[in-house]
Amino acid sequence: MASDTVRVRMAPSPTGYFHLGSARTALYNWLFARHHGGKFILRIEDTDRTRYHPEALPDMLESLRWLGLCWDEGPEVGGDYGPYYQSDRLHLYTEYAEQLIKEGKAYRCYCTPERLERMRAEQRAAGQPPGYDRRCRYLTREQIAACEAQGLHPVVRQAVPLEGTTEFDDVLRGHIVVNNSQLDDQVLLKSDGYPTYSLAVVVDDHLMAITHILRGDEWLATVPKLKLLFDAFGWEMPVQAHLPTILDPSGKGKLSKRKKRLPDGRQMLTYIHEFRQGGYLPEAMVNFLALVGWSYDGQTEFFTRDALVRLFTIERVSKSPSAFSYDKLDYMNAAYIRSLGQNDLAGRLLTVLRQADVPADIETTLRLTPLVQERITTLNDVLSTAEFVFGADPEYDAQLLIPKKMDAAGALTALRASREALAEMDAWNEGALEERLRALATRLGLKTGQLFGTLRVAATGRTVAPPLFGTLDVLGRDTVLRRIARAEEMLSTAGLTA
């Protein structure tokens, strides 16, 4: 197929927040379109009004933008094949349903919900597979007139061929054959005038000139009915490729939208906005999602977006389900954080800090960034790694100021000597601080770990923190001297030096 003819679509229903599985499907469609120089279309299938979620659409659009999956046609963009909301296309579905009725390929069904329920109960009791008994398919004109006179509101059903087979090819699943006798006379148009999924998707895919359908394999069972509709209209069905299921981290079940706990106690994230709020980078998410079901050579893990576009092909998509590994995502996210330029990372960290109401400023954040860049897995880790830099002095137990193999009196002496030595410094920078404090440890007869340990707690309130000298430099002379003096007071008043 010529590269300029490829047109793929992402067609979500706004019934819930944008899920990982939907994001992976959108990514594969976007990569396929970009690889072939084609178009990525966003179409909103919003005809299921009973399940419509008012926050779903803005969440989905923002999630796609965050991932960098910009659409060529669709909401907020427009295009030559609109409108791109199915609720704005209802007249089209009615027209095409009427066409099928006139051609004898569909019929109006007047069966009430009560009659259909009795029919299904009888089928279950007889051990028969459920399905419409086609009663209205053979109504006479007089019977139809009688139903109309009663004010019954019909649905429109497709007159599925009673014999023969329906066949189609799937790029990943091969040639598939289904006996028509196994297929139901599916509803195409509901009594309220809204189309079912089958009618709407077939009409829209044809009118929007969609060439390839890439979607989750849970939709594979619907293809025979769609193929019959394409055939009924005399249209060519787009190339089909049904993507493998994403499994949960255990690999034993489909990744659920219900909240679960990971083995380490963390809550499992499933929606894209949760990963964004959790401090993951969109670059890492795209790279990671691409590998949940696709592989280039089985070894390469890191790909730029341009490389993914260049290398992505459907043939390299796995037929088997793939487990979603949070450990792998964390590993990749940390690697992407380490690869960022310091100005770039500082800007992202500042956003996280300010969103958490931390009184951070860009200058201090820039100086802090190289201290934490190698130590954080997500952007949000800066909140716990370096919260002591901003705002009030940290609270902690005075006992933490006493290093191993030292007593409280020795720790107090070390703190006083440190404060005096630091107060005398002319230059306040990382190199000068290291030189002065190492010399002080020697003069006091302490191991550097002992002196640095008590100073780390005094300055940060933590036994584990970013590199000490860089931390003291970022905190500044006044803050460091004040916090050491406070630590001295804590040791003195806690009764630990008696």
Catalytic residues: 257
Strand partners, 497: none
Quick one: DSSP state of residue 446? -
Q: For 387-436, give the DSSP string.
A: GGGSSSPPP--GGGGS-TT--HHHHHHHHHHHHHHHHT-S--SHHHHHHH
360 close to 387: Cβ distance less than 8 angstroms: no
160 close to 228: Cβ distance less than 8 angstroms: yes
Residue 127, SS3 per DSSP: coil
> Percent helix, strand and coil across the chain, each rounded to 5?
50, 10, 40
> CB under 8 Å to 349, separation ≥6 — which residues?
365, 368, 369, 372, 379, 382
Quick one: DSSP state of residue 174? E
Element (H, E) at 246: strand 246-247
HSE-up of residue 250 (Cα within 13 Å, Cβ side): 11
Q: How many helices (H) and strands (E) does the chain have?
A: 19, 11
- The amino acid sitting at 446 is L
Alpha helices in 2-140 (DSSP H): 20-35, 56-67, 90-102, 113-125
Residue the block writes with tokens 């499933």: 270
Strand partners, 39: 7
Strands 212-216 and 239-243: parallel
The span from the CA of 143 to the CA of 145, in Å, is 5
The CA-based dihedral angle spanning residues 343, 347, 353, 356, taken in that order and rounded to the nearest 10 degrees: -170
